[in-house]
Homo-oligomer: A and B are copies of this chain.
Amino acid sequence: MLQLKDLPDAKVLRKFAERYAEVDSDSVIHYLNILRIGTELSDSLDRFLATHGLLQGRWWVLILLMREDDLTTTPSELADKSGVSRATMSGLINGLLRDGLIARQEGDVDRRSYSVKLTEAGQAKLDEVMPDYYSRVKKMMGAIPVQQRDNLLMQLMLIKEQSHVFD
């Protein structure tokens, strides 16, 4: 999702404030920056994964599978844990099946469903990517000391909790 790259400067904000009395410039700037930074962090991750021939959505699915002791779970569990719809998960799974990173197992207990299991190729791909990923995350987050990060996160969470005002 597009988040504005060219953020409004003082002139633009003034223009909008003249028409819309509700403008609070600081709030707007802070908000738009947070949105934009979120996009850019995600884009960085995209680009990194692309160097390993992986797409982000599919990679999260591999990770969720690896969490399981038997490397196996159902599409609806994957959808719930990732936070996407079952329809979306259906597509992600199909991509991974095509690439041979997961395999399909027909359900026994519930005939409406099936399971997917991380394959050896899938595990190998994670073994290739995750060390690199973790060391980079560590380095990036190292820009700020842990305690400050805790505080940062708490503040972001406060904002997120307030986001119900958009409901």
Which A residues are closer than 8 A to B by beta carbons? 1-6, 8, 12, 15-16, 19-24, 26-28, 30-31, 33-35, 37-42, 44-48, 56-57, 60, 63-64, 66-67, 80-84, 88, 127, 130-131, 134-144, 146, 148-150, 152-153, 155-167
Contact = CB atoms under 8 A, between A and B. Distances in A.
Q: Within the oligomer, what is the number of copies of this chain?
A: 2
Q: 5 nearest interchain CB pairs?
A: A38-B38, A5-B83, A6-B81, A27-B141, A22-B134
A39 to B, nearest CB: 7
Contacts of A64: 6
A37 B138 contact: no
A143 B166 CA distance: 14
A155 B142 CA distance: 11
A15 B64 CA distance: 12
Contacts of A44: 163-164, 166-167
A30 B83 contact: no
A26 B82 contact: no
Nearest to A15: B67
